[in-house]
Structure 1
Amino acid sequence: MTLANGTLEYSLIRIGLRHLIWLLALLSALVSLGSTLYASYQAQNELLVEKTLQANQAYATKLASTVEDFIQSSWQRLAYSARQLQDGLDNPDILQSEVDRLWRQISGFNTVVAVNAQGLVRATSPESIPLIGRILSSPGALEALKERRPLVSRPYISATNNLVVFVSYPIVTEEGQYLGYIGGSLYLKKTNQLHELFGEHWRPADIHLYVVDLKHHLIYDSSTDSKLGEVVEHNPVLDALGQREYGQLNHSGSLAGYAAITSAGWGVVVESSANAIYADLETNVWHIFYDAMPLVVLGLLAGYLLAFLIARPLNCLAQTARNMDGEGALEQVYLVQPWYFEVAQLRQSMLAGIGLLHQKVPSVPVSNLIDPVTGLKSQQGLIAILDTWQESRSFSIIALAIDGCAEISNQDAKDHAMGQVAQLMRESARATDVLCRFKDDVLLALLPGTSLADASRVAERLRLRVELADIVVAGVGVTLLLGVSYWSLTTEISVQVIVQTVVQALEEAQQQGRRNFVITPIA
């Protein structure tokens, strides 16, 4: 039952302080655990991403350095052969001997050719490749004739129908006359030293390695050979590679490290998927969760025990407060152990209040304060309460009687009906309300801190509840007469007058007919 001012009656409040404290502890533990897991996830995520980027960059840099050494070494050997052919480009035996030596010495080259200034092939190794006497028109050959400097070509289809890159070195006389070039081709889809360099380092299965030239032509791809020679488009890593010699980039769920092979104009990119990191992160977070659970459970048990210890003395005081004028109330309050400040203050206040209450009714036995028929306070108990409240609080009073009660001759039936009405009053009352039997046929309810308007609504709901209970006397359903009044600390009229006033209100309700109540304000 809820009053108009929003106060919940005691009978509807089921949750106690102990449960509230424990729920607060549970919420705090869950929030703390969740915050810890989230912070751990974020910190580990940043750490793992950074370490992965650094590892991929280190891998790319190391591989780029290895390939750079291979190209420089190849140019040195080609340069030596170019010097040997300064005076012997027209001698077939010398030419063939030198290209054979170079082909056998540098296992990285799949073919070696010597070409004159007109682009005519003068010697080739191995000799099984039918190129001698042909003019090469492939992009690598034309670029070597045009640039007349050490270079590495972009990928192209050679005269032998292989996808290759061509490493060349010019043949120049001591006087500076350009005679041609000597060079070796590296087949991108066949085994050679360059291919082995790219694949010789161990790497996890989720690592993707690829190499491109300045125009983003794919030279090597660890996942497939089918796209070699194609242009890699819309790749932010390659865009970054064009601006810096090395670095790292986190983009679109990919963690990439890259490094440039400066002499060849190539770039090495090492990528790994962020999904693998997220899987590791999830595993780590679950491990943290499982490791933390024993402490969380212990904390919750400790919180529950602490909630019990905090709430126990307050609960004892609350139980005693419901019956402060009963037998043993003083002893019950004395037994409460005040181990913290608030309980000590409440205990002291209750002891003082109970002592004052007992001083007001020192000579009245407890048995005389309770009506034996209804179980409510008797008229003597009401007088003691009113004497105390007159000095300390404002309250409303509801008086009720059964319609036609005076006409009922069967006293047992009348008492039974009054007892049932009293039970309904108890079920609807708050812990602070006082219920009593004022006369044989009049029951009273004192509602501390309740306005006249709120008390009127409570009275109306009580009347409806009695009617719904189907209480029958002499074959007739019981209905109520109700009178409501109010007394405040500023009222000049005594509390005794309010009782008489509200009883008079009952008589007025009787004159107006059945099922009525009268509101009588007190100035």
Structure 2
Amino acid sequence: MQQSRADQHFSDMLKELEYSAAQLEKDLNNPVLKYNEVSRLKNQSDNFNSILLVSAKQQMLAYSPSSLGLSFQQTYGTEGIIESLQKKKTYISSPYWSVNNNLVIMMSQPIHGKNNQYLGLISGIIHLHKKNVLNEMLSNQYDYKNSYMYVVDQHDRIIFHPDEKRIGDKIVNNTGLGYIRKNKSGSIRLVNSRGVDNLAGFARIPSVNWTVISQQPTDELFAKANTLILKVSLGIFIFYLFIFILIWWISNFIASPLNRLARMASMLNQPDIQDKIKEVDPWYFEVLKFRTSLLLSSETFSHRISELKQHVNTDPLTGLYNRRGMQLFLNELIDTRTEFAALAIDIDFFKRVNDQYGHAKGDLVLQTLARFMQDNFREHDICCRSGGEEFVVLMTTGEPSVAYKASERLRKTMQESTIHDMGQITISIGISFWPKDAQDVSEVLEIADNKLYEAKHSGRNCTRSTAEQES
């Protein structure tokens, strides 16, 4: 993985040069283009220490940085420039001395004009004795810790080494060099050019044909191996000591969760008992099973309590909230200071329905109105049956027009519906508002009843509101 990352990085460097060459081929005589391209290559990354643009006649056309102080009239015949101009293709040099007496490596791409005419080259220079992409990238990419690492090019010259004095030297008398040349990666025991027995690992970077070699003296490695064995032995001892202490600690407290759960089994009626049961850590299967059983029992107990509360707070015939349930919501609305409209609803001539069609049909009318109410009002509006054929809706709004439109929509729905051939059945509605009409909730409900009676006296099948929103 690290080898592929380094190879990709150098491939990208060559592609940067190739892209610049393609741009320069469009108009190599344009001084602005030449200046901008070498400046961009130098400044867009730290890949190259300097950039040179050289013509086919070895003349310098542009360069960066300007501190190089090169002449545009003079011809330059460094080893890298000459070889690159001769090859007229992608080129990576061996280390050589530049005109400024720096040991460098040159990477270059050719520039061609029309009819594939060779015009020159664009090159990136890496200064081997200065801070460069090699010693930064390779030191990070190939982390061999305390091992001895260096990099050689395709001509067996050292281009990266911890000892800077050896950069540029050609490797000789190394017993593993032949094996390394023949293989892309691997490991080998060798005697280096200084006669020291080493164990080495190596990997090639295909894009530039360089080889990264990591080696360490065999004697030093064996000495470290003995030290490592001692450290591992000590680590194993500490690990098992820790395990022993941990097991001892767990065994002392293994009965604790069972005791806690046993105590909670007699407190299932408490409101926060499920949270307390969940706080018990299931250290082993028996605790988990016991805790799960208690939670299920507690949930069943809570569910039955909720069912009882639901039966207590709702009307069994219509499923709407009864007076007790309505009072709970009224308390919540008052506590949160939420404005609401109270709609008092009554079925017109309901006694006549019971007398003419029977109580079973009367119950059906009540259930139908309840269903229309639930469909007509919003989810957070509270629909209640306050008794007999009387209903109340608590709408969480202070807007008279909203309450009036919702009331009229319900009234018209009831008026336009036919329930089991009983003819037209209508409702009357009265509306009041809290706290606009009164601060006392019971007084607000009484005002809504008065408006309902006003609707009855106005001929029934209509809505009357304290806000006079009948229109």
What TM-score do the two structures reach when normalised by structure 1? 0.41
Structure with larger Rg: 1
Structure of higher RCO (CA pairs closer than 8 Å, 6+ residues apart): 1
